[in-house]
Amino acid sequence: MRTIILASKNKGKIKEIKELLDEYDLEIKSLFDYEEIPEIEETGITFHENAAIKAKTIGDLLNYPVIADDSGLIIDALDGRPGIYSARYAGEPTDDYQNNLKVLKEMESVDEDKRGARFVAVLAFYRPGEEVVFSEGYCEGEITFGERGKHGFGYDPIFIPKGYTKTMAELKDYEKNIISHRAQALHQFKVWLKEHGL
């Protein structure tokens, strides 16, 4: 069995990525298995840069293959915010509830037909000594006027995926895992793994 580290302490992300990699015979660890590692500063200005920083820092420290996910919500009416600042939009430490309140407040006066948004996930796969490999996924949708649903994490309660009436947080885990940005990015990554005989 091969070991791979998920460079994350976000329980929602870890759960989803583990489920999405279920078909592989992998021992999947996360940063909860390495509590001694301090928080990695995400100093990049793009999702790609931040995913690469996380993957390389952890891969070089632990000498294992790493997957890092940098993701977030891009809202058209807010000029792309919260974007790469999604995790800490309402300040430190990360507080999903406060982040959602802040977005809803900023979107209060935005008309129904101007509430378009998308989730983005960029995955960086790094094997120590090799180049970083990226994959990315998107999920289009719109922002609600209030929170709905208890599943998922982050902005799921205020995001309705395109073609749905339920929020991402009202969908079952397996339903989110079919359409999510993370699922799309992992699908692309699995194709790469297959092409490279891994």
How many residues belong to the site for ligand IMP (CB under 6 A)? Answer: 18
CB of 110 to ligand IMP, least distance (A): 19
Q: Does residue 70 belong to the site contacting ligand IMP (CB under 6 A)?
A: yes
Site string for ligand IMP, 104-123 (x = CB under 6 A): ---------------x----
Nearer to ligand IMP, 43 or 194 (CB): 43
Contact stretch for ligand IMP (CB under 6 A) within 102-110, 129-137, 150-158, 184-192: 150-158
Interacting residue with ligand IMP among 17, 180, 185, 186 (CB under 6 A): 180
Closest CA to 114 of 80, 148, 77, 140: 77
CB of 182 to ligand IMP, least distance (A): 6
CB of 158 to ligand IMP, least distance (A): 9
CB of 4 to ligand IMP, least distance (A): 18
Contact stretch for ligand IMP (CB under 6 A) within 19-27, 127-135, 146-154, 186-194: 146-154
Nearer to ligand IMP, 22 or 63 (CB): 22
In this structure, which amino acid lies at residue 54? Answer: K
